[in-house]
Amino acid sequence: MLRKSEIAPQRLQGGERGQRGGFCAQHAWPEANRQEFRGERIALFRAEVEARGGVFDPMSVAVTRSINVVTTAEERAKALETRLAARRRMDRLAQRPDGRNTASMMSYADTLEAAEAGALYGTPDEIAAKLQALRDVGAQYVLLNSAGGLASLRRFAREVRPAFAGAR
């Protein structure tokens, strides 16, 4: 039986210590923020854990999302434009001198659609639907970054979270 530390997500992503490649190099997937790829990644991770003799725990896989609870389509559009501008700034700051950035977190489509696909921006009902879609592909542990500040986070706690309370 493998110890939990031997099947931790970071170990599978980076391969064995001191090696290049490893699990991710063997199992390449498109860099997109669409739900089916999240589901494939989670299923692939689950299969690898089980193939190594481990027991898959859905809470061992985290999906990160920026959240911004808004009221109107105009607020969502403005928030998404701000998100895309921030991603562009981060991309510029993270450039290697040779311009060869290969990190998957810096590989994304430079569009508003891509910015929205990887975020939970919208009304409480829209965000609840996006969270349910993540849950449907196996993501039960979602880490939130509140781009909308404390007011947005409080609104999420009041209007979205209760629908998911007690669910596992």
CA distance between the termini of the chain = 25
Is residue 33 predicted with pLDDT exceeding 80? no
Q: What's the pTM value of the predicted model, to 2 decimals? A: 0.67
For 52, half-sphere exposure in the C-beta direction (CA atoms, 13 angstrom radius) is: 18
Task: Print the domain residue range for 40.
Answer: 4-164
pLDDT of residue 104: 52
Residue-wise pLDDT tens digits, 96-122: 788 776 655 555 566 667 667 778 999
pLDDT of residue 120: 92
Is residue 26 predicted with pLDDT exceeding 50? no
Is residue 145 predicted with pLDDT exceeding 80? yes
Q: State how many domains the chain has.
A: 1
Is residue 139 predicted with pLDDT exceeding 70? yes
DSSP 109: -
